[in-house]
Amino acid sequence: MTQSKSAKLFEQALKVLPGGVSRNTIFSRPHPTYVEKGEGCYVTDIEGNTRIDFANNMASLIHGHCQPQIIAAITEQLHKGTCFTLATEAEVKYAQLLCDRVPSFDKIRFTNSGTEAVMAMLKAARAYTGKAKIAKVEGAYHGAYDYAEASQTSSPANWGDAANPKSVPVAVGTPEGALDDVVIIPYNNVKGALEILNKYKGELACVLLDPVSHRVGLVAASDEFVEAIHQWTRENEALMVFDEVITFRCAYGGAQERYSVKPDMTAIGKLIGGGFPVGALAGSNEVMKVLDPMEPKVLLPHSGTFSANPITMTAGRVAMELYDETAVKQINALCDKARLLIEAVIETVGIKACVTGSGSMLRVHLKPQPPTNYREAYLDAKEQAKLVELLDYLFDNGLMMINTCTTMFSTAIGDKEVAILVETLESGFRMLLEKHPDMAV
């Protein structure tokens, strides 16, 4: 039997990369799939198989692959240089665009990833308030930072009582001191969250919220929940900070646009890089002063060798110029249509499944009712195995999804691709029902 190109490449990768990969999210058995090229909403692997890309590099490609205007702009910049120990006009132009776009953005500081942006935001909150502890929602993903990771992968074995969720580490060796400085609150539970926060009055620098947390279930934070958190932070000299690394795509001004109150700071990333590594921290003039080198005392010294490099700034600016109000409405409407069609298929097939999402994001759950928090969205081993069966089926039948069975639409996706998505999900549901009759409604 002839060995595939991917299998051969993986053998080489195992010799130089832990587990053969540089990011665990793309690992799969018996080996990862290696890409040849991408164009629009289609990706072709090195074996010659072409699939529709509904993952878009974990939500970072808002216009799909090789968008012509982005390619032209960065090609021009490449001939001028890729990075300098000098400031660039590209940085200023892009900062102006983003600050003009979002009312809560008085000032912005660029970083190289969403993780860095969240990390800088939490450190800025500490610097501004002089307090160490932060609060975050149980199960919410905020990148690879000890404090932001707490409770991210908690399970029934260690998550504690719902009224007092535990701060649980992701990585072995996480300092207990870091965990002690993270307060975990339940999602969309105003009474429960406030009872916990009130135990730490005077100690919290900020409350960190993702307004449509992917890991918590891809369900929007309620107006009541956000407003209650905001009011609590006003009364207790803390900040309310948003992680919109993923959700900035949800509306022209980010998911925060839907709320009557605004965060003091926001971390963004992914789509704002136009396909290149990026992150950014934005917020009010008062809070962002902690980063200002012109202040008598800089409370948070911050730099990064590749922060605001002109390639990323150029690609990001063009991407966001193209992602105007019309484009946002169109992509959101298409995703709304997809959710309705999938819900209809679920009812027709008669499977215990549901759909959640917001804006241009949707997630399929193999549960009869949409989850409202992390504990309801959590999958045990048997449930996870069934989800993997579905994901493998979709992949083998031409669809790339995020490994929670989540899609992140790009503007390159159209009605044709949505029809294929719905049709393939329907056949995938029928496959599951045939193998697992207990999944029938």
Confidence bin at 25 (pLDDT 50/70/90): confident
For residues 101 and 321, give the distance between their C-alpha atoms in angstroms, rounded to a whole number: 10
Confidence bin at 230 (pLDDT 50/70/90): very high
pLDDT at 83 (0 to 100): 97
Mean pLDDT of 248-276: 98
- 390 pLDDT above the threshold of 80: yes
pLDDT at 304 (0 to 100): 95
What digits encode the pLDDT tens for the residues 102-136? 999 999 999 999 999 999 999 999 999 999 999 99
Q: Which residue has the tokens 């009312």?
A: 103
- 19 pLDDT above the threshold of 80: yes
Confidence bin at 323 (pLDDT 50/70/90): very high
- 28 pLDDT above the threshold of 90: no
State the catalytic residue, choosing from 270, 352, 374, 378: 270
What digits encode the pLDDT tens for the residues 46-71? 999 999 999 999 999 999 999 999 99
Largest CA distance in the chain: 70
- 265 pLDDT above the threshold of 70: yes
Q: Residue 308: name the closest of 273, 284, 268 by CA.
A: 273
CB 420: neighbour CB atoms within 10 A? 16
State the catalytic residue, choosing from 42, 94, 141, 187: 141
Q: How many helices (H) and strands (E) does the chain have?
A: 15, 14
Look at strands 107-111 and 133-137 and give their pairing.
unpaired
- 433 pLDDT above the threshold of 90: yes
At 166, is the secondary structure helix, strand, or coil?
coil
For residues 293 and 358, give the distance between their C-alpha atoms in angstroms, rounded to a whole number: 38
For residues 182 and 75, give the distance between their C-alpha atoms in angstroms, rounded to a whole number: 44
At 348, is the secondary structure helix, strand, or coil?
helix
What digits encode the pLDDT tens for the residues 67-88? 999 999 999 999 999 999 999 9
Reading the block at residue 246, the tokens are 């993923």
Residue by residue, DSSP assigns 354-423 as: EEEEETTEEEEESSSS--SSHHHH---HHHHHHHHHHHHHHHHTTEE-BTTTEEE--TT--HHHHHHHHH
Is 378 an annotated catalytic residue? no
- 3 pLDDT above the threshold of 90: no
Q: Which residues pair with 110 in a beta bridge?
A: 280
- 155 pLDDT above the threshold of 90: yes
Least confident among 26-40, 90-104, 184-198? 26-40
What percent of the chain stands above pLDDT 90?
Answer: 96
pLDDT at 2 (0 to 100): 75
Is 141 an annotated catalytic residue? yes
Confidence bin at 370 (pLDDT 50/70/90): very high
Cβ atoms of 278 and 98 within 8 Å: the answer is no
- 29 pLDDT above the threshold of 70: yes
pLDDT at 365 (0 to 100): 98
pLDDT at 26 (0 to 100): 84
Query: What are the structural domains of the chain?
Result: 33-62+324-439 (3.90.1150.10), 68-322 (3.40.640.10)
pTM: 0.96
- 21 pLDDT above the threshold of 70: yes
- Who contacts 119 (Cβ-Cβ below 8 Å, separation ≥6)? 143, 145, 148
State the catalytic residue, choosing from 243, 262, 264, 374: 243
- 1 pLDDT above the threshold of 70: no
